[in-house]
Structure 1
């Protein structure tokens, strides 16, 4: 998947197709005839349909690497609704039912994530909580934790950070059986909520716990697919962001710079977001020229990306740089 983003973007641009149009085309063509038949008739379904839906969740999750939430959200929300329809109306065996509920939970996490990226915060909260119910019904406690921690991340950014920290702690505590990288992800969201709450001790303890959990992963550990993107550079980015929130931008800068240099350029939204954090680290350290230059780079990187989250970050740093 490492070349997917660059190849997809190159093909789209060569064809002169916008991201919105691409998402619309995907929405018209993604279902097989067999799946459409199941959706229309509600008849008994089995492993083949569950496998097709599981495959589709992975495709959509990786599409989020290269498509902004404003373009991707309608497609994912529709697919979530269709998967929920299958669960409600079809008949199936116990194991197939569990797999379908996990699909609903994973689609709900992705739907909430892209809706939040598009600035649709109420919708994101609704689908996150729907997903928690599906994950719990499936007995998938780490997935339920992933959904709760995703909601905590939204609340930390646009709501009360203290509420976000409570949600994030609940996510970590309830994620029984979480694998090392999955647990590291949940702890990252707790670290962020703690930093946004200006809780220095909790933030630093939790960042240490993120490192410890991530380091416990081995090549033989079977992690859930939804943590495919979490690696050392992502952990460094989060640590850098937390350090900025705690008032230590100088320590944040090398972590952010190294991670950005190593990042896949095809994942333009994330690169631009991380560039805004680097610009903030420079600005808060008083290195205004570097902050301005980095923000200019972030603006260029962000061109054509339909992401309210990214637009807000750029606006926030512009406002910061205008302050005397």
Structure 2
């Protein structure tokens, strides 16, 4: 432990970028030299010292870290928490207004209306390939942070700002090719905005951002991205338990985009979940098999776009199919053992840590154990999810904890179960 205390927030930001300390230092130095005109060359050892709290970044590096990550000093563990007097209801209203304001701005830009949002001079510059690339990079950073840690206030603000900025740039594109590039950035950022709204439980707002993203992608000629966003809309309907809408969205996506085998695998797994909600075990078994077959099929695609990368991992395959079988096991308990096996495999592939997705897998695992009438393992998985949830900011996680708590209520005569229910529902 260093003299200032370990900076876990800075470390988490680095890990969200999937960078070693040396890699983070190299990227940070390059960004500061190119974008801030600061002649610095930080080392991996220096980054390690910051993370361990042995020293703290000076003013120039603080500026570089916030510019490079798109995060505030507070969210990087470099400043104390800002004062706030908002009640939870007021916070929800502020989130809704912030994110929907950016959706309206993007929608206005798509149809050629003037942008009325309050934007600074930097947002009114003529777009360049470098600037568009920077927008995509910041979208990637917010996406990674969101999937790992949930929709923090900083993610909400950052995504809204990125969407406003990219929308304002559209009117200043000097060529049709540049216009398409900016539209692609708007689509990419809209997808992250939609997932942010999903994590906050703002379902109507998520729908609006998805629609904006699909429209922008189609206007850009990025049909694969448009198809991907429609698939994500299908995933959104899983949270709302709307099987008909899930399957309708997947059918629409198949007519829009061209997909790699692993993307097809992801879609089959989502379809399996739709049929699990219906209780159709024959279709679930068939689609789980189809998902596994597609996952190992050879592909001629070159590389994987960042916006699709998390959905084509092996851990995601086992997570989705395990959760589908856990849902099915609620009405047909004979499927619980395989659900447990698949979710355990998904967690093993994630490799530990405190990611939001791992928490959700633990909660699905708890539900699978309950379906198998194994109370203690179910309670252990639920406790693990609760402990991990302290490291994320996610309304989706909070709601899922309440759902699992409700399912444990039938066993509340057991003292340890009653204690868990009190821990979850006593903090509402």
TM range (shorter): 0.7 to 0.9
Match status 1:243 vs 2:330: no
Aligned to 1:82: 165
Which of 39, 42, 45 matches 2:123?
Answer: 39
Aligned to 1:69: 151
Which of 302, 308, 319 matches 2:406?
Answer: 319
Match status 1:104 vs 2:191: no
Q: Cα–Cα, structure 1 residues 141 and 188, in superposed 2: closer, same or farther, change >3 Å?
A: farther
Matches within 5 A, 1:46-57: 46-57=128-139
Tell me which moved more, 157-166 or 270-279: 157-166
Which of 178, 181, 188 matches 2:259?
Answer: 178
Q: CA deviation at 1:267?
A: 4.5
Matches within 5 A, 1:213-292: 213-218=294-299, 221-229=302-310, 230-247=312-329, 248-292=335-379
Deviation string, structure 1 residues 64-106 (Cα, Å, up to 9, x no partner): 233311432332133122212222x212322222221111111
TM-score when normalising by structure 2: 0.65
Q: Cα–Cα, structure 1 residues 58 and 73, in superposed 2: closer, same or farther, change >3 Å?
A: same
Q: In structure 2, how many angstroms separate the alpha carbons of the residues matched to 1:243 and 1:169?
A: 22
Secondary structure at 1:150 match in 2? helix
Q: CA deviation at 1:195?
A: 2.2
Which of 117, 127, 140 matches 2:199?
Answer: 117
Structure 2 gaps, min length 5? 1-11, 25-47, 57-70, 79-118, 330-334, 412-428
- Higher Cα Rg: structure 1 or 2? 2
Aligned to 1:199: 280
Deviation string, structure 1 residues 101-158 (Cα, Å, up to 9, x no partner): 1111111111101110111111111101111101111122221122122222222212
The count of aligned residue pairs is 309
Secondary structure at 1:69 match in 2? coil
Structure 1 gaps, min length 5? 26-34
Match status 1:133 vs 2:186: no
- Measured on the aligned residues, the alpha-carbon RMSD in Å equals 3.2
Q: Is the 8 A contact 2:241 2:277 kept in 1?
A: no
Q: Is the 8 A contact 2:260 2:299 kept in 1?
A: no
Aligned to 1:22: 75
Match status 1:298 vs 2:385: yes
Q: Cα–Cα, structure 1 residues 253 and 73, in superposed 2: closer, same or farther, change >3 Å?
A: same
Q: In structure 2, how many angstroms separate the alpha carbons of the residues matched to 1:73 and 1:267?
A: 20
Q: In structure 2, how many angstroms separate the alpha carbons of the residues matched to 1:138 and 1:187?
A: 27
Deviation string, structure 1 residues 228-268 (Cα, Å, up to 9, x no partner): 22311220111111111222111111111122133143442
Which of 226, 243, 251 matches 1:161?
Answer: 243
Q: In structure 1, how many angstroms separate the alpha carbons of the residues matched to 2:284 and 2:167?
A: 37
Q: CA deviation at 1:36?
A: 6.2
Q: Cα–Cα, structure 1 residues 302 and 257, in superposed 2: closer, same or farther, change >3 Å?
A: same
Tell me which moved more, 225-234 or 114-123: 225-234
Aligned to 1:144: 226
Q: In structure 1, how many angstroms separate the alpha carbons of the residues matched to 2:52 and 2:396?
A: 23
Higher relative CO (Cα under 8 Å, sequence separation at least 6) belongs to 1
